[in-house]
Structures are given as C-alpha cells and as structure tokens.
C-alpha cells in the first residue's frame, strides 16, 4: 500500500481516483434499490380532503374533511374504528365526496393510526364512548355553526365498535340533528331503542377495504322518503 501512495497523487491518475470515489458512493444506493425494488416504483397515495381542527366547535380533535365538487344535500359525520384517520377512512371519505356528500371523519384516537388488526383492536379498546361521543358532537356542531359548510341534514356513520359512541350521541338531545345512523361492520347487534333517527346496518365482505362499495346502499337509505319524513318529524319534536 505504501508503494501505491505516491502514484495516487499524480495528476494523470486523478480521473481514475474520481471514478473510484463515485463508484463507492453509488454502489450502496444501488444495493438498496435491489433490496426493495417495489419501494421506488410504488407512488405515494394522495387524498383529496384536508385536515381541519374542531376547536371552534367544542372539540380538541382534528378531522378529515372531504368536499364534493357539487353542492351537497347531506353532511356526513364519520366515526372511524381503531384504525384512526388512516388511508382506508380517508379513501372512504373521498369516495363519499365524489358521490356528492360532504364528509367529515373525526379523529377518535389522538392521531394514532393502526397498521395491523391487533393495533386497531388495542386503539379501539382505549376509546371512551363518552369522550368519543363528545368528539362526534363537535362534528355535528361543525355542520350547524360553520358559515361555509352549514348543513340542514346530517347523517352519522360509525365503523366497528365506534357504534357505541355514535348511538350514545344519537340518543341524546345533542344528537337531534342526526337524521340517519349507518353502522358499517358493527361489533354488536345494537338496538334502536331511544334513537331519534333511523338505523342502518351494513356488513363488508372485506372490512377496511371495500367500504366505498356501501355508498349505493347509504345513498338509498339517506334519500328515501321515509327517512326524510322521520328526520323532519323528529327534528321538530
């Protein structure tokens, strides 16, 4: 090695030295791409909605708001399950907006997002239904007091075990604005006792992945004449 050092300092060998340094820098990057070739080819998923804060509406939570291109007839408040405001909930909210609904998904897990069913179950178990109902109430107040997004008709969607918070709110006076409650993949049979709104139960063949497939059933339930009549009658009670 000591014999090579004088040669490396010669100007004629400088291009070779530069090439060797460049090769040393590139090889680790190439090895990383070879180890995970899909990482470079998989584009990051983008969503159409935006994050908003519910401080002005009595809540400390954040929410994901998806806005339709046309004037909506119904505002939707979504109670996610233990997955939190993850990609599935955002994808579903965007699909509702594409169908013409104003969709507001409320964060019930303090920003935590589950990546496995076990994590989702743990986050769901940590949710206090009373605290979650208050967070959803802020979502209702958003549609009542927001100058830009005020809605006269509101539907409530709950995933999985979040049904407890949704039903608790729908049974209270603070949930009077709710015209319809839709439970997707509910954790229990539930009951309509004490509800001021009609109740819908839907089940997914692949929970967490095919929620947008329920939109036609949701649309039919929300827009039926019986739903409208019940909603207006109970609103003025």
What pLDDT sits at residue 199?
Answer: 92
**pLDDT (mean) for 118-133:** 86
Q: Which CATH superfamily is domain 50-235 in?
A: Alpha/Beta hydrolase fold, catalytic domain (3.40.50.1820)
pLDDT digits (tens, 9 = 90+) for 19-28: 555 555 545 5
Residue 35 has pLDDT above 60, yes or no: no
| Mean pLDDT score across all residues of the chain | 80
Q: Phi/psi of residue 94, each to 5°?
A: -65, -35
What pLDDT sits at residue 82?
Answer: 83
pLDDT digits (tens, 9 = 90+) for 180-199: 999 999 988 767 788 888 99
pLDDT digits (tens, 9 = 90+) for 66-107: 999 999 989 999 999 888 898 999 999 999 999 999 999 999
Confidence band of 4 (pLDDT split at 50, 70, 90): very low
Residue 5 has pLDDT above 50, yes or no: no
Helices 225-235 and 215-223, axial angle in degrees (round to 10): 60
For CATH 3.40.50.1820, the residue range(s) in the chain are 50-235
Please, are residues 188 and 158 in contact by the beta-carbon 8 Å criterion?
A: no
**pLDDT (mean) for 141-162:** 92
Higher-confidence residue of 146 and 206: namely 146
Percent of the chain with pLDDT over 70: 75
Helices 129-145 and 163-171, axial angle in degrees (round to 10): 60
């Amino acid at each position: 090695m000591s014999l090579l050092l004088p040669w490396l300092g010669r100007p004629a060998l400088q291009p070779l030295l530069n090439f060797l340094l460049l090769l040393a820098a590139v090889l680790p990057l190439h090895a990383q791409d070879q180890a995970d070739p899909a990482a470079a080819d998989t584009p990051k998923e983008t969503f159409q909605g935006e994050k908003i804060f519910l401080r002005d509406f009595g809540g400390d939570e954040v929410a994901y708001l998806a806005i339709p291109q046309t004037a909506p007839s119904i505002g939707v408040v979504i109670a996610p399950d233990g997955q939190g405001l993850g990609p599935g909930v955002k994808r579903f909210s965007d699909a509702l907006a594409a169908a013409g609904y104003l969709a507001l998904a409320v964060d019930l897990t303090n920003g935590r997002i589950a990546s496995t069913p076990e994590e989702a179950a743990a986050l769901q178990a940590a949710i206090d239904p009373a605290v979650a109902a208050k967070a959803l109430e802020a979502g209702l107040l958003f549609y009542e007091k927001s100058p830009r997004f005020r809605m006269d008709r509101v539907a409530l969607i709950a995933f999985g075990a979040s049904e407890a918070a949704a039903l608790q709110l729908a049974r209270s006076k603070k949930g009077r604005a709710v015209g319809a409650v839709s439970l997707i993949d509910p954790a229990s049979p539930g009951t309509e006792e004490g509800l001021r709104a009609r109740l819908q139960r839907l089940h997914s063949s692949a929970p967490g992945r095919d929620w947008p497939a329920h939109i036609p059933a949701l649309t039919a339930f929300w827009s039926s004449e019986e739903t409208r009549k019940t909603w207006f009658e109970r609103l003025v009670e």
